[in-house]
Structure 1
């Protein structure tokens, strides 16, 4: 489960970079931003890196998909961006937002997911623009992985009407493992 993987990642990172350098906090990124960020800022005065990696594929609910994949990512980015800003006393930092190579694709499938990742791409490249980096000292980077075997892709991803066509489509795509 995610908690076990998170705990294992913390052990691995702390063994490489020093105790207390990494932390895993289980939360609902759509609801727990204020509580979790307060805890982080109180524990670590300086945050060097934020990785926004929460996401879903839910083609039955545009709201759920956009709320988790786009809005939560933007809100977490802005909260940490404000904390990191050099012009406001921060030391700068880096925010890594996980997008998708699929946001560059033009096809009739997984429209809510694709729209959410288009939003991530636009937000990250705009806030992460070189002019903003020069002015505020916070770098934003979007990482756009390709099709990846994961808990997200272990279930039906598209509308029933597209199920057969989508299965043929993704069969021809290059897939990778999360590890």
Structure 2
């Protein structure tokens, strides 16, 4: 799911060549639009809805072929972004939801792996316009911009890490932090 139809379709074609046309899906959707917000397809809600929709088709227990779902969170899903509290909350939700889905899939035998990718600043249209959307936190825009300028990732760097989560069949319930200076699989406390 992405707003850039051309890039999304291009990625789908590349994945189709590797995994077959029936194994991939691209949905063109702008979860920032007011229309989508009113339709309850915004932020964390969109991730939950699309994950459940994908699981409905992929679940081995209901005739699907299994597979992997990688949800996109953010560094803000691991550490607070003080200029974006709501964004921070939703990205923490994406990480928690993804980890819970992985545990559920393992316990129930869905045959679907769930992982989350948490990139830092990525050179996208969203990044270039975000400092104008900080609202009541606009006084933090300069600091936000300075941090973004010194540590921005390319889309290709994020895509490489995403493909790692897709292709490595040992990865389930993983959260991969991607920063300008490298990547790291996160560890979380386990409660029994």
Aligned twin of 2:146: 171
Give a deviation string over 1:38-58, Cα, whole Å, max 9, x none: xxxxxxxxxxxxxxxx654x9
Residue equivalent to 1:132? 105
Q: Provide, for residues 81-129 of structure 1, a one-character-per-residue CA deviation record: whole Å limited to 9, x for no partner.
A: 1322222232322111011111222353112211211211111111111
2:73·2:91 contact (CA, 8 Å) conserved in 1?
yes
Given that residues 9 and 26 in structure 2 are in contact (C-alpha distance below 8 angstroms), is that contact kept between their aligned partners in structure 1? no
Equivalent of 1:106 in 80, 102, 115: 80
Number of residue-to-residue matches in the alignment: 147
- TM-score by length of structure 1 reads 0.65
Structure 2, unpaired ranges of 5+: 157-192
1:151 aligns with 2:125: yes
Q: Tell me, yes or no, if the aligned pair for 2:8 and 2:28 is still in contact at 8 Å.
A: no
Q: Which one has more relative contact order, counting CA pairs under 8 Å at least 6 apart?
A: 1
Does the 8 Å CA contact 1:7/1:24 hold for their aligned counterparts?
no
- Rg comparison, structure with higher value: 1
Cα distance in 2, alignment partners of residues 138 and 70 from structure 1: 20
| 1:150-171 per-position Cα deviation (integer Å, ceiling 9, x unaligned) | 0111114343443343322441
> Per the alignment, do residues 123 and 26 of structure 1 end up closer, same or farther by CA in structure 2, a change over 3 Å counting?
closer
Q: Give structure 1 stretches of 5+ with no counterpart.
A: 29-53
